[in-house]
């Protein structure tokens, strides 16, 4: 594939409702998109970096600068045989996995189109029905949280994840469990706690949670292993797993029993698949997390979720939960019983809505 032309864009989309985590509230998204053209075919990728450096040090601006200054000028006009060559070409760059994943995933989309294959099949996916869950942010009032849970349970979602932070944790879990004793429920702390809070996590053991996601520091493995040894509920790591070696270290240290794989966080599909393969060989269940992606990023997450080790419902919910009008059509929809069907078409399997994307583009840089 000769990479004839690459378009880097920043788009702007309001969220239907704000989304609050332990690190703050977002009302709208700025998203970096990558479009790569080759021989009349196009691949698309989305960068999961947020507006500010709170989930990770990467932001929309750092991704833009790494992509526009270092990666895309060197990539355009190159001929590559397989998306894996991208990782080799840019291995000297440290970190910036979200920026890289935007390009790597667009190369996978493009490459699978060249092969006439669905992206998910090109990745070795097997699951044609993907089980979906939802992630529900912190609300202004506990009653509003119960209302949201009610809505999502009725919509058929197979796992409910609620965000917690100090002051919105044990009492909230108690309240939710009192109203929903049976639902598959988990919490995500986004690194809001330390080992000093061990008693809180021990207390959460009584509520039959599927897991507790990323309770401690965003870059920690050791303290998580100490906490895991003290409690029964499985820990799941998100922020702490930046690449394959982090996953291996986490498993060997006993820092978690479940891993949240986000293709966009670990540098792309190839690394996500390596982490999946490792976890599978060590009997560690994985699931696919989300980062408030628009449809392009969601479609990539659907492809990832078809790998056989994705045995826990992911945060791969419908576009309409977040956006009035998405970047792809048809929008991603979830069946009444909480599944998404893997798409049949080649590549991503959803068409980017170019006209709409053009309308919401704030800046654009073309490499050719």
Q: What is the set of active-site residues? A: 163, 262
Return the residue of 315, 340, 342, 343 that touches ligand OSB, per CB under 6 A: 315
Return the residue of 6, 204, 292, 302 that touches ligand OSB, per CB under 6 A: 292
Q: Which is nearer to Mg ion, 35 or 188 (CB)?
A: 188
Smallest distance, Mg ion to C-beta of residue 16, A = 20
Q: Is 238 in the site for ligand OSB (CB under 6 A)?
A: yes
CA–CA separation, 245 vs 111, rounded Å? 27
Q: What is the dihedral of CA 102, 361, 341, 317, to 10 degrees?
A: 90
Residue 292 Ramachandran class (φ > 0 left, ψ -120 to 50 alpha, else beta): left
Residue 186 CB contacts under 8 Å (≥ 6 apart), including other chains: 159, 160, 161, 162, 209, 210, 211, 212, 213, 236
Q: Is 55 in the site for ligand OSB (CB under 6 A)?
A: yes
CA–CA separation, 156 vs 144, rounded Å? 19
User: With CB cut-offs between 5 and 8 Å by kind, which of ligand OSB, Mg ion, none does residue 326 bind?
Assistant: none
CA–CA separation, 31 vs 314, rounded Å? 21
CA–CA separation, 368 vs 72, rounded Å? 10
Return the residue of 289, 295, 313, 338 that touches ligand OSB, per CB under 6 A: 289
**Alpha carbon separation from 252 to 210, 255, 291 (Å, rounded):** 21, 8, 27
Q: Is 295 in the site for ligand OSB (CB under 6 A)?
A: no
Return the residue of 20, 169, 188, 271 that touches ligand OSB, per CB under 6 A: 188
Smallest distance, Mg ion to C-beta of residue 51, A = 17
- The site that binds Mg ion (CB under 5 A) totals a number of residues, namely 3
Stretch binding ligand OSB (CB under 6 A), from 59-67, 86-94, 105-113, 288-296? 288-296
Return the residue of 215, 264, 267, 290 that touches ligand OSB, per CB under 6 A: 290
Return the residue of 20, 58, 104, 238 that touches Mg ion, per CB under 5 A: 238
Residue whose C-beta lies closest to ligand OSB:
290
Q: For tokens 């992630």, what's the residue?
A: 135
Q: For tokens 């959803």, what's the residue?
A: 350
CA–CA separation, 353 vs 329, rounded Å? 6
User: Which stretch of DSSP H or E encloses residue 178?
Assistant: helix 170-179
Stretch binding ligand OSB (CB under 6 A), from 195-203, 249-257, 289-297, 334-342? 289-297
3-state DSSP of 82-109: CCHHHHHHCCCCCCCHHHHHHHHHHHHH
Stretch binding ligand OSB (CB under 6 A), from 6-14, 219-227, 284-292, 355-363? 284-292
Smallest distance, ligand OSB to C-beta of residue 135, A = 4
Over the window 199 to 228, marking each residue x when it contacts Mg ion by CB under 5 A and - when it does not, the resulting string is: --------------x---------------
Q: Site residues (CB under 6 A) for ligand OSB?
A: 21, 55, 135, 188, 190, 238, 289-292, 315, 317
């Amino acid at each position: 594939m000769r990479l004839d032309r690459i378009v880097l864009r920043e788009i702007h989309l309001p969220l239907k409702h704000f989304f609050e985590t332990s690190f703050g509230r977002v009302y709208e998204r700025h998203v970096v998109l990558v479009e790569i053209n080759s021989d009349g075919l196009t691949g698309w990728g989305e960068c999961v970096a947020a507006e500010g450096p709170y989930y990770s040090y990467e932001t929309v601006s750092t991704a833009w600068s790494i992509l526009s200054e270092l990666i895309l000028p060197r990539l355009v006009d190159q001929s590559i045989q397989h998306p894996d060559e991208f990782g080799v070409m840019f291995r000297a760059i440290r970190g910036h996995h979200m920026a890289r994943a935007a390009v790597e995933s667009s190369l996978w989309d493009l490459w699978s189109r060249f092969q006439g294959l669905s992206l998910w099949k090109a990745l070795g996916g097997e699951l044609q029905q993907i089980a979906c869950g939802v992630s529900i942010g912190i609300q202004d009032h506990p009653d509003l949280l119960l209302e949201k849970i009610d809505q999502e349970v009725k919509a058929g979602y197979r796992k409910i994840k609620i965000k917690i932070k100090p002051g919105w944790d044990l009492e909230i879990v108690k309240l939710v469990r009192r109203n929903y004793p049976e639902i598959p429920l988990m919490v995500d702390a986004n690194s809001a706690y330390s080992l000093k809070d061990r008693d809180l996590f021990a207390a959460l053991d009584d509520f039959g949670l599927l897991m507790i996601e990323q309770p401690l520091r965003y870059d920690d493995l050791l303290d998580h292993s100490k906490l895991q040894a003290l409690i029964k509920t499985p820990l799941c790591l998100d922020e702490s797993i930046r690449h394959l070696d982090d996953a291996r270290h986490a498993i060997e240290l006993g820092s978690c029993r479940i891993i949240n794989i986000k293709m966009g966080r670990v540098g792309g599909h190839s690394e996500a698949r390596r982490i999946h393969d490792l976890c599978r060989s060590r009997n560690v269940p994985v699931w696919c997390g989300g980062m408030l992606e628009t449809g392009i990023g969601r479609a990539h997450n659907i492809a990832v979720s078809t790998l056989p080790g994705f045995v826990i419902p992911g945060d791969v919910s419908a576009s309409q939960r977040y956006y009035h009008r998405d970047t792809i059509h048809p929008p991603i929809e979830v069946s009444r019983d909480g599944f998404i069907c893997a798409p049949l078409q080649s590549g991503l399997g959803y068409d980017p809505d170019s006209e709409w994307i053009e309308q919401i583009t704030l800046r654009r840089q073309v490499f050719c």
